[in-house]
Structure 1
Amino acid sequence: MSAVLPTAAFLYERVRRVIPPIEWPAFTDDIEAILALKCERKAVILAHNYQTPEIFHCVADIVGDSLALARKAMAIDADVIVLAGVHFMAETAKLLNPDKTVLISDLSAGCSLADSITAADVRLMRQRYPGVPVVTYVNTSAAVKAESDICCTSSNALAVVESLDVPRVIMLPDEYLAKNVAAKTDVEIIAWKGHCEVHERFNAEDIRELRETHPGVVVLAHPECPPEVVAEADFSGSTSAMSDYVGREKPKRVVLMTECSMSDNVAVAHPDVEFVRPCNLCPHMKRITLANIRAALEENRHVVTIDPRVATHARRAVERMLSI
């Protein structure tokens, strides 16, 4: 890693459009300390697209959606990985990097989807539908992944389902993602009733009101949104797919039907695009802060561990996904 660290003033130029000048001084000490600690500990920070801009643009080394982070985690040259995201993401990083130290700065950074299903639930589904393969969204615990045949993300869910070449699959735990995938394939999908507490709050009427109040707005929806929201949108895709759409199509005015910070992070790279922000915050993502990332590096907390027996089976499901 380079011994030359960017200054806080240089980094502020990246985020000046989304962080007011009056707020910036509150971040600078932690940012400078984190940059130094990364060099000292040969550490990298992986940040999900829902992290706040001061994390996403100022201290993160690798950013993206769940699929991008999973893929890039495999090629990391570092001793320590700090996952700026929720707990299942840190577990996935550990699955793919068993010999590295993986830290998450707040153990309570969970996920409503991950909490909606257990390994015992998956075993019961297998008993109810014998012989039907289980496709598990990465937004789950390692224990649930270990009971699965293959994992998927919102980016590759359709490709994963169709790769199995079977007439029906069990898809867990996001009911809306399963229904949105089912609308695009002839494969019968048996869904679980888990929901993302951010995306389930959007509805079709929200989009109609946005179109009335912001004429010409282009609506992009995450596939964890209810099917009626996806049907009303101009485009549906993962957080990375939405970001790519903005870069490719350059809409004059756009709204991202997903977590708040996503719009701020995409807006940094697209100053000519107007972002309308219907704000649903993920309380779990917002538990990750500069201060606790700094503390994680200073105190080596909180180390992510996975039972080796669980890890072996869970890793197989994730690696099978990544091979597609």
Structure 2
Amino acid sequence: MKNDLKDKILKLKKDKGAIILAHYYQRPEIQDIADAVGDSYYLSKIAKDCSENIIVFCGVKFMAESAKILSPEKTVLLPAFDAGCPMADMANPNDILTLKDKHPNAKVVCYINSSAEVKAVSDVCCTSSNAVNIINNLQEDEIIFLPDKNLGEYVQQQVRNKKIILWNGFCITHKKVSAEEILKAKKLHPGIKVLVHPECEKSVRELADFLGSTGQIINFVNNSTDKKFLICTEEGVLHKIKLKNKDKEFYIPNGGMTCINMKKTYLNNVYESLLNMEYAIEIDENIRKKAYKALINMHELGGK
């Protein structure tokens, strides 16, 4: 049944000239049918540069919005219409503008995990993989960073010469892991390498052997000669990691690290999305133009 559905999806995709993008946190079967699998930054580049006019974005709403902001002429579909991001919902434009008034010389840097409306009142977007580069490349010495406090703290540790004004947001998935669990895993598995996403709490980050974005964590494993790893990010990354590292052992913190919103997309959602062209992302053009500048600034400043 699952294979039949996959075949139907691939046929529909071909017939309609669509491209399927999937985040690393998506279900394994979704990653398997995707034309590209990656983190937020990589997928935003694919969405911007691809020749296809229909993008099926298997992720959460802010990701599909980013694709639409960058390519308004394309149809961007979000198969699971209610796949949101609690952290993105922790920031709103009015409060950002109020904070900006208090710090008139500051640049506003928003994590890509933000709504289109928040991007529209920001100067530049960033991802966990390029946040340090972007802030280093800004001339201003004062930065308002939102919505993720943990990523902002991590950036501040890397960029000592600038003042980072933090927003009190967080990822509910990365908040699940505790320092106690890390210490327990280290005791149970001597020599295990602890790989941590900077969205985790400071006490967890301090115990990491490697701190990095989803893509960076995957690259670290692929290039490492170590054999045991504790992966402290959403467990969907294990699908791609295990395919390339069959001789290595992987563990996740007790209780697992699952983003319920990333797991809302099933194969039948992708099929229905392509069949019925649902659910199309629409953004007010005034908001889109402002948000576009922040995303383009990310692409210009992020790789330097």
Among residues 177, 180, 200, which one is paired with 2:175 in the alignment? 200
Which string of whole-angstrom CA distances, capped at 9 and with x for unpartnered residues, describes residues 77-129 of structure 1? Answer: 11210000000000001111111110001121000111101111211111121
Structure 2 matches for 1:297-312, cutoff 5 A? 297-312=274-289
Q: Find the residue that maps to 1:74 and give its secondary structure.
A: helix
Q: Find the residue that maps to 1:112 and give its secondary structure.
A: coil
Question: Any gaps of 5 or more consecutive residues in structure 2?
Answer: none
> TM-score, normalization: structure 2?
0.96
Paired with 1:307 and 1:222, the residues of 2 have a C-alpha distance of 33
Question: Any gaps of 5 or more consecutive residues in structure 1?
Answer: 1-25
2:90 pairs with 1:90: no
Q: Which residue of 1 aligns with 2:97?
A: 123
Paired with 2:225 and 2:216, the residues of 1 have a C-alpha distance of 14
Q: Which residue of 1 aligns with 2:6?
A: 31
2:261 pairs with 1:287: no
Paired with 1:243 and 1:250, the residues of 2 have a C-alpha distance of 13
Among residues 108, 122, 132, which one is paired with 1:134 in the alignment? 108
Contact 2:105 2:142 in 1 (8 A): no
Pick which of 160-169 and 39-48 moved more. 160-169
> TM-score, normalization: structure 1?
0.90
The Cα shift of 1:287 comes to 0.6
2:43 pairs with 1:66: no
**What is the total number of aligned residue pairs between the two structures?**
298
Q: Which residue of 2 aligns with 1:184?
A: 158
Opposite residue 150 of structure 2, the aligned amino acid is Y
The Cα shift of 1:277 comes to 2.5
Q: Find the residue that maps to 1:275 and give its secondary structure.
A: strand
Q: Find the residue that maps to 1:183 and give its secondary structure.
A: helix
The Cα shift of 1:220 comes to 0.4
Q: Which residue of 2 aligns with 1:243?
A: 218
Contact 1:46 1:61 in 2 (8 A): yes
Q: Find the residue that maps to 1:304 and give its secondary structure.
A: coil
Q: Which residue of 1 aligns with 2:295?
A: 318
Which string of whole-angstrom CA distances, capped at 9 and with x for unpartnered residues, describes residues 48-76 of structure 1? Answer: 010111111x2100111011111121211
Structure 2 matches for 1:158-173, cutoff 5 A? 158-173=132-147
Contact 1:154 1:237 in 2 (8 A): yes
Paired with 1:247 and 1:107, the residues of 2 have a C-alpha distance of 34
Among residues 223, 230, 236, which one is paired with 1:255 in the alignment? 230
2:154 pairs with 1:154: no
The Cα shift of 1:265 comes to 2.5
Among residues 243, 247, 254, which one is paired with 1:268 in the alignment? 243
The Cα shift of 1:183 comes to 0.9
Q: Find the residue that maps to 1:102 and give its secondary structure.
A: strand
Opposite residue 67 of structure 2, the aligned amino acid is A
RMSD, aligned CA: 1.0
Pick which of 259-268 and 47-56 moved more. 259-268
The Cα shift of 1:165 comes to 2.3
Paired with 1:277 and 1:30, the residues of 2 have a C-alpha distance of 30
Q: Find the residue that maps to 2:151 and give its secondary structure.
A: helix
Q: Which aligned segments of 4 or more residues in structure 1 are displaced greater than 3 angstroms?
A: none
Opposite residue 179 of structure 2, the aligned amino acid is A
The Cα shift of 1:130 comes to 1.5
How many percent identity over aligned positions? 39
Paired with 1:121 and 1:29, the residues of 2 have a C-alpha distance of 48
Which string of whole-angstrom CA distances, capped at 9 and with x for unpartnered residues, describes residues 157-213 of structure 1? Answer: 011111112222000000000001111112110000111010012121111011111
2:54 pairs with 1:80: yes
Paired with 2:101 and 2:86, the residues of 1 have a C-alpha distance of 25
Paired with 1:277 and 1:257, the residues of 2 have a C-alpha distance of 6
Opposite residue 204 of structure 2, the aligned amino acid is V
Contact 1:104 1:302 in 2 (8 A): yes
Among residues 182, 188, 193, which one is paired with 1:218 in the alignment? 193
Among residues 249, 263, 273, which one is paired with 1:296 in the alignment? 273
Pick which of 265-274 and 131-140 moved more. 265-274
The Cα shift of 1:236 comes to 0.5
